[in-house]
A and B are shown apart, each in its own frame.
Chain A
């Protein structure tokens, strides 16, 4: 500060800092004093801030700060706040009769948007994020339901699941593996009959023989006309929807080895309100009855 080498600017008579860029020199004008105070204030504030809030990195974690603030804590608080805010809707949803849910549009909207997130975190792994399912995992967008497509029926399926050992109320049925009952030709005949039932190309003579076997063995569950039975989760064989494929190869495999699709019960992991919400969500995807 005390070196005297700096020039005095001719125009203004003010000392320069001695810094020069392309012939332009910087005047050594004093800063305003209030600016200095503000500068000190920010330093004090900065120190205070690192004491009040998490700041200094230590070996495994940072200092916690006197105010005990954490971003995670804030998220938890926000979730709690929203849950409190939605408490009355959640209670209403727990108690609502799903059959008349659409008489209460506000509750229905709440259920659908809540159900959408339940679906995404718990159901989409098997049924797909767009609910279109896949081989062995039912498509929830169409108008065909194995165990029923009203909101209540969907909620029951979600609550108890299908063919699981956990929930005694789970939907249950089991198709025999006809590979151990039928001869190879008989299986082919039955497959031809099923193709005929669903209006696909088939061998008429074989289908006729298959019809007899079908009436004898299959109609108990799938119905005389092959339209299935929802009490037993027996699929309708006359429509265009096939869970495991409706082509001769897939059908032959199904008849020979049977299928055994399992769904876990969700009542153990979801609240009643969440079960109803996801049922309401699935119901409005296009297939709801």
Chain B
């Protein structure tokens, strides 16, 4: 671009045709793709018995009833801090991995990467490898081109539908929903969600690809803040490779300028230009280059996971420091400590969750009620929660030496039945006879006991009783 020629304001997307590659990182990525896709598609179909009145889906986000089920854990809206805690852990985990290994999230596990990888795989099966695809793009729209393109789009679309389809199963009972979907009886929201997810999967995996990472995703910018000189990222040993040259001469470096690393790159960049914003550290260029180095009988690792801080050493001809030296440093140790702290806290919170969930709220409007015989009554709103799949009976009582009397609105006994998976709010009355000191005193401390009739578990709440002076 000459300086008299202003740069274009808007640039068209450069087509990228990643070549097939094999090697350690490619295999690792296939495995990760298999596992992550497997988890995504299969999880909603795992069953977990929770008793007759609760859903038997192991992982279920039941938005309509405001419940979140995860195997043996059940989370109600008031326990949302568990979810918040998990999100914070996910964030810290990302910080940890990014500060140690750069954009590993981007390179291996991000759905954008995994699905794009899958879509490229399909593309290669149908249209052939890089050269064939380049030729096909240049070719006229013949019947064969149409046939190949339509086949590819159809397979993409099927994957996209399956992706959108699997998503909704996390929110309702999967077998029921599948039947409803197939018989066109499912809720319109389900179809709309599937349609949107299908559209975005098809578009992002098939056509937008690297554009999503470069222009739409906020992670790369955030991740940049987590990296430093010790972070291991994919880099090119230019002190070893340069000057690059086709000839196998002593005057040239190890790089033979075969463009293998460029041709495999899903982001369409040349890693030899140095670390770049676009690079998702998928490590495929490492595999490609190692392959070449082996063929020409040079040591592997011209392109490799490198730490910037090793560069001066290596330029001076010394070996790089071992990986653990880069990985264990104050920053990563701190992230790990924080991460485990929250993790341990959450597990602890999970185990100390009360079996009897109870709140006692004294009614303060009015503070007390005088009955016709001169007794003084206080009202308490008692909320009892039953998370189990069966009904539970709770007996309300006061401390045994208390002379006050307790009654439950609308019941002859002090036993309350709480339906499965629900909360009850009950008015509980505590009465002091006119001769009891509590009826005239300002405030008297009170302990309200609740006992699970079935299991004899007990819980209490302390509250106060207001007498006439109050």
On whether the two chains bind one another, the answer is yes
Q: Tell me the A residues contacting B by CB distance below 8 Å.
A: 1-2, 4, 8, 13-15, 28-36, 102, 128-130, 132, 139, 141-144, 236, 239-241, 284-286
| Distance of A133 Cα from B396 Cα, bound (Å) | 29
| Distance of A139 Cα from B369 Cα, bound (Å) | 9
A contact residues around B299 at 8 Å (CB): none
| Distance of A129 Cα from B366 Cα, bound (Å) | 9
Contacts A15-B1, A15-B3, A36-B10 hold; do A130 and B366 have CB atoms under 8 A apart? yes
B contact residues around A239 at 8 Å (CB): 372-374
A contact residues around B10 at 8 Å (CB): 30-33, 35-36
A contact residues around B208 at 8 Å (CB): 34
Contact A132 B369 (CB under 8 A): yes
Having A31-B10, A241-B371, one finds 4 other A-B pairs with CB under 8 Å, namely A1-B6, A31-B9, A33-B11, A236-B372
From the candidates B6, B365, B377, B429, name the one contacting A128 in the complex (CB within 8 A).
Answer: B365
A contact residues around B365 at 8 Å (CB): 128-130, 132
| Distance of A143 Cα from B370 Cα, bound (Å) | 9
From the candidates B7, B11, B366, B373, name the one contacting A132 in the complex (CB within 8 A).
Answer: B366
A contact residues around B176 at 8 Å (CB): none
For window 2-22 of B, CB contacts with A under 8 Å fall at: 3-4, 6-13
B contact residues around A102 at 8 Å (CB): 410
| Distance of A35 Cα from B9 Cα, bound (Å) | 11
CB of B211 closer than 8 Å to a CB of A? yes
Contact B370 A33 (CB under 8 A): no
A contact residues around B371 at 8 Å (CB): 142-144, 240-241
Tell me the smallest distance from the CB of A145 to a CB of chain B, in Å: 10
| Distance of A140 Cα from B208 Cα, bound (Å) | 68
From the candidates A30, A34, A35, A143, name the one contacting B7 in the complex (CB within 8 A).
Answer: A30
Tell me the smallest distance from the CB of B393 to a CB of chain A, in Å: 16
Contacts A4-B4, A130-B365 hold; do A240 and B373 have CB atoms under 8 A apart? yes
Tell me the smallest distance from the CB of A16 to a CB of chain B, in Å: 10
CB of B427 closer than 8 Å to a CB of A? yes
Q: How many residues of B contact A (CB 8 A)?
A: 30
| Distance of A2 Cα from B4 Cα, bound (Å) | 8
A contact residues around B264 at 8 Å (CB): none
21 contacts between A and B (CB under 8 A): A13-B1, A14-B7, A15-B3, A15-B7, A28-B7, A30-B10, A32-B10, A32-B11, A33-B12, A34-B211, A35-B10, A102-B410, A128-B365, A130-B363, A130-B365, A139-B366, A141-B379, A239-B374, A240-B373, A286-B369, A286-B377
| Distance of A76 Cα from B370 Cα, bound (Å) | 43
Contact B13 A286 (CB under 8 A): no
| Top 3 A-B pairs, shortest CB-CB distance | A130-B365, A239-B372, A132-B366
A contact residues around B9 at 8 Å (CB): 1, 30-31
From the candidates B7, B373, B429, name the one contacting A286 in the complex (CB within 8 A).
Answer: B429
CB of B351 closer than 8 Å to a CB of A? no
CB of B324 closer than 8 Å to a CB of A? no
Determine the residue in chain A with the shortest Cβ distance to B8: A30
From the candidates B4, B7, B215, B374, name the one contacting A240 in the complex (CB within 8 A).
Answer: B374
Contact A286 B370 (CB under 8 A): no
Tell me the smallest distance from the CB of A20 to a CB of chain B, in Å: 18
Contact A144 B372 (CB under 8 A): yes
| Distance of A247 Cα from B281 Cα, bound (Å) | 88
| Distance of A8 Cα from B6 Cα, bound (Å) | 11
| Distance of A102 Cα from B373 Cα, bound (Å) | 27
Tell me the smallest distance from the CB of A261 to a CB of chain B, in Å: 18
Q: Tell me the B residues contacting A by CB distance below 8 Å.
A: 1, 3-4, 6-13, 208, 211, 215, 363, 365-366, 369-374, 377, 379, 409-410, 427, 429, 434
Contacts A130-B365, A132-B366 hold; do A241 and B372 have CB atoms under 8 A apart? yes
Contact B379 A35 (CB under 8 A): no
| Distance of A271 Cα from B363 Cα, bound (Å) | 30
Tell me the smallest distance from the CB of A64 to a CB of chain B, in Å: 27
Contacts A132-B366, A144-B372, A239-B372 hold; do A35 and B429 have CB atoms under 8 A apart? no
A contact residues around B366 at 8 Å (CB): 128, 130, 132, 139, 141
| Distance of A31 Cα from B427 Cα, bound (Å) | 65
Tell me the smallest distance from the CB of A289 to a CB of chain B, in Å: 12
Tell me the smallest distance from the CB of B396 to a CB of chain A, in Å: 16
A contact residues around B4 at 8 Å (CB): 4
B contact residues around A130 at 8 Å (CB): 363, 365-366
Contact B215 A32 (CB under 8 A): yes
| Distance of A250 Cα from B3 Cα, bound (Å) | 101
Contact A142 B372 (CB under 8 A): yes
Contact B211 A2 (CB under 8 A): no
Contact B427 A286 (CB under 8 A): yes
Determine the residue in chain B with the shortest Cβ distance to A141: B369
Contact A286 B3 (CB under 8 A): no
| Distance of A36 Cα from B10 Cα, bound (Å) | 7
| Distance of A241 Cα from B369 Cα, bound (Å) | 10
| Distance of A124 Cα from B434 Cα, bound (Å) | 29
Contacts A32-B11, A36-B10, A141-B366 hold; do A8 and B372 have CB atoms under 8 A apart? no
A contact residues around B370 at 8 Å (CB): 142, 240-241
Contact B409 A284 (CB under 8 A): yes
Determine the residue in chain A with the shortest Cβ distance to B1: A15
Contact A284 B410 (CB under 8 A): yes
Tell me the smallest distance from the CB of B259 to a CB of chain A, in Å: 20
B contact residues around A142 at 8 Å (CB): 369-372, 377
Contact B372 A240 (CB under 8 A): yes
**Chain A CB within 10 A, most for which of B372, B374, B379, B429:** B372
Determine the residue in chain A with the shortest Cβ distance to B434: A240
Tell me the smallest distance from the CB of A99 to a CB of chain B, in Å: 14
A contact residues around B7 at 8 Å (CB): 14-15, 28-30
Tell me the smallest distance from the CB of A199 to a CB of chain B, in Å: 8
| Distance of A54 Cα from B237 Cα, bound (Å) | 61
Determine the residue in chain A with the shortest Cβ distance to B4: A4
Contact B3 A8 (CB under 8 A): yes
From the candidates A1, A129, A143, A285, name the one contacting B372 in the complex (CB within 8 A).
Answer: A143
Tell me the smallest distance from the CB of A156 to a CB of chain B, in Å: 21
A contact residues around B3 at 8 Å (CB): 4, 8, 15
| Distance of A285 Cα from B377 Cα, bound (Å) | 12
| Distance of A28 Cα from B11 Cα, bound (Å) | 12
| Distance of A83 Cα from B369 Cα, bound (Å) | 36
Contacts A1-B6, A4-B3, A30-B7 hold; do A35 and B215 have CB atoms under 8 A apart? yes
